[in-house]
Structure 1
Amino acid sequence: IIDSIQTIYFASLTSAPGSVAQVRECTSALMQVAKRENITLLIVGHVTKDGSIAGPRVLEHLVDTVLFFEGDRFASHRLLRSMKNRFGATHEIGVFEMVAHGLREVANPSELFLGSRDEVVSGTSTIVACEGTRPIVVELQALVSPASFGSPRRSATGLDSNRLQQILAVLEKRVGVPLSKLDTYLASVGGIKVEEPAADLGIAIAVVAGFRDRVVDPHTVLIGEVGLGGQVRQVSQLELRLREAAKLGFRRAIIPKGQMPPDLGLDIIPVPKVLDAIIEAIPAQPNNGGSISSPDLEDRPQVDILPQSRQDELEDELEPETDIF
């Protein structure tokens, strides 16, 4: 293990350690030693503030694999992400947890990024994201509230903010959900970065559930890309995602229409549009006069939500053009 490449140098070179010439020559010499002795060599390098490798780009071309550690500095878990791999697939990840004795491998990362299903909270949904060939079940949380100032605020933690803006526009134009005067906050549990389009349907359902203050069935996963026309588009590696959901005890899956996976013990609900997914995932009215109940939650305490009269007042203030609920 060489820690770090910016601190070693050739005495025969007049340039300072960490310079382009020193990094290039030292890396080339180390590569020759590794291949001659048939050993594995790990080279630790510095990174810049934007997360890229410090120094010359030739360093990335000389080595066989480039690995990055990433993660929230306030969280205990770290993701080891592959950006280059001559002998395997890129964009694979390894999940580790920082403990007292160092990094420990997380055997089942889905449990790390999945919130407790014992708590009934409105505005949450569950998706299955794929990092390379590894499926990870992630819980999304959305909070929708009246804007305090003239311009509403849209914030996304762990997800692409531009993607959130696009989905909010689709919900308002194609579905009729009035969100233009509301603040919208979206976050992924654990702070994991989810960038693939397959998370679109989960984002849309979480936002609508947060707007209506409804609870999505905690045993349902949502998989699908949302088009600008309000369609739910097909995604890749659907069977792999559903197998992970079934392994963790989920019972229903709302997926794009036209993709029919093999029988995995899940209740599969194909939907062609976002509106159909909303109808299937979100209850139209709260049960028992303003409280939420479910067959899966019979032994758990009831959770009060906003009175229907307050929701009607909020909708009157926003002047929605269409009420689909």
Structure 2
Amino acid sequence: MFRWTPGRLFWKLVVALWISMILSIAVAATYFYLTGQAPPPPRDGIERIGVLPLAPLVSAGIAILITGLALAWYLSRPLQHLRWALRRMAEGRLDTRVRPLMGRRSDEIVDLAHDFDRMAVQLQQLTESRRILLHDISHELRSPLTRIQAAIGLLRQDPSQSDAMISRIGRESERLDALIEELLTLHRMEAGEAVRERVDIIELLHAIAEDADFEARASSRSVTIEAPGQFVANVNGDLIYRAFENVIRNAVKFSPEDAVVEIQCQVTDNGRMLKTTVRDRGPGVPEHMLEAIFQPFIRVEGSEPVHGAGLGLAIALRAIEMHGGHVRACRRAGGGLEVLLTLPLHLES
């Protein structure tokens, strides 16, 4: 609930009004002192304003007028800056900043300018990320479509290659379907579509690790897990499953032969927090890309080409953040990558 308390601007107004009153009293007192006159006595207990000398009243009025004009200028100028900035934002000038125009002021209007600039920065970043995302989506969709068209063209030229071309068209169609499904998942997460249920996250992790280990052994890799106990939380099971599965499968994908992907879970903060670490012995990630790998369509520079649209880690990050958690990556000592997923406990009240 909002609770009003006097702020810096309130006290500045109070001080200005007191200064105006003091100036008025000072002008009147000076006039009576210089003229040697005394204020007329009250008549019937009520002072007659009409019998007061005109000069101190006019001087006091001028003092109040000057103070009022100064206050009006002091308050209206920053508001005009904010109005100008809002008009530019409405015109699409998202690089507009209003705080530098406020000078050395320090009051609630300056706080509002700070909030405006933060909003402008977030809108600018969001718009830029949307533009990049649309560009990347167009590129990712065009690549399999181009290969499908090429396969159709070759099939028309040489029908004897029908089996190979049909197989290629099928693979590219599956990639398109997987890409569209991941894009829809991202959209659902951004739209906040999440039906939650009570899920034991540690039991879920054991199931993911078992499936990943079964598939990894086909390529001479393995997955181990150390996750005792249980951690029952109110989450969207599908999204949490996708998040952990994407991180674990990504670790298996980039691990060399005979490597082991290690999963370790720890319940902390008196049972209110689950910390899961996924470690691999892959080529690792350059320091400057440790945050970028969680953005859509970002692939590690210099890595060998692998199948996928580059959305797995982006989905994992957004799914965990939707549940109030955090995901971060760091370089592993001796080579490889560590991904730490922190998930808080959420139960229905």
Decide: shared fold, TM above 0.5. no
With normalisation by structure 1, the TM-score equals: 0.20
Larger radius of gyration: 2
- Which structure dedicates a bigger proportion of its chain to strand? 1
